[in-house]
Structure 1
């Protein structure tokens, strides 16, 4: 397992991008924190194939309820990666398996 960050490195209700530990993946991993839970996704919109963020670590809506693709405004549930609004409604972000041990977040494959 590859260590990515600490849970507390990410503000509750926010998300950050981290380099993917696999050399075969050229996209970052988005890690979203909700309380003590973290969720991981590949930083690629299922509609346009673009990164979700338009500025560094800018993934969440102002109310912190959804991740947003800043290319076309698609909204994604932080805990499932499901698109609930926008041009890719019903599609999902590609999930990345994470594990948390003693407050450390690991890439689990």
Structure 2
């Protein structure tokens, strides 16, 4: 497991991008649970963020691709609207403990 960040660095209903050993990732916290994905849209293979650390739609309830507006469920990365509907983001296994958030790469 590799250290991503401390828990306090990822507030609830927020997202944050990371570059860990050359792999671009992003994390989202929702309802106290952390979800981590590879930062790559299945449609075009581009990064998802609008601006640094901005991966969520205006309501903070879905992940949104800045390139073409595809919407993904936070909980499992499934695309529910847009040109890649039915495809999914690549999830990264993670866990959180007192030290922070850890990922398996």
Report if TM-score (shorter chain) is over 0.5.
yes
- SS of the residue aligned with 1:8? helix
In the other structure, the counterpart of 1:58 is 54
What residue is the counterpart of 1:88 in the other structure? 84
- Secondary structure class of the residue paired with 2:8: helix
Task: Could you tell me which runs of 5 or more consecutive residues in structure 1 were left unpaired when the two chains were aligned.
Answer: none
Q: 1:6, CA displacement in angstroms?
A: 1.7
> Is 1:97 aligned with 2:87?
no
> How far apart are residue 103 of structure 1 and its match?
5.5
| Distance of aligned partners of 1:73 and 1:35 in 2 relative to their CA distance in 1, 3 Å threshold | same
Given the alignment, which residue of 32, 35, 41 partners 1:36? Answer: 32
Residue-by-residue CA offset, 1:16-56 (whole Å, 9 max, x unaligned): 011123xxxx4411101013210010000000111001310
Q: Counterpart in 1 of 2:15?
A: 15
Which of the pair is proportionally richer in strand? 2
Structure 1 residue 80, shift from structure 2 partner = 0.5
Please give the TM-score of this superposition, normalised by the length of structure 1. 0.89
Partners of 2:10 and 2:93 lie apart in 1 by 17
Gap regions ≥5 residues in structure 2? none
Q: How many residues align?
A: 105
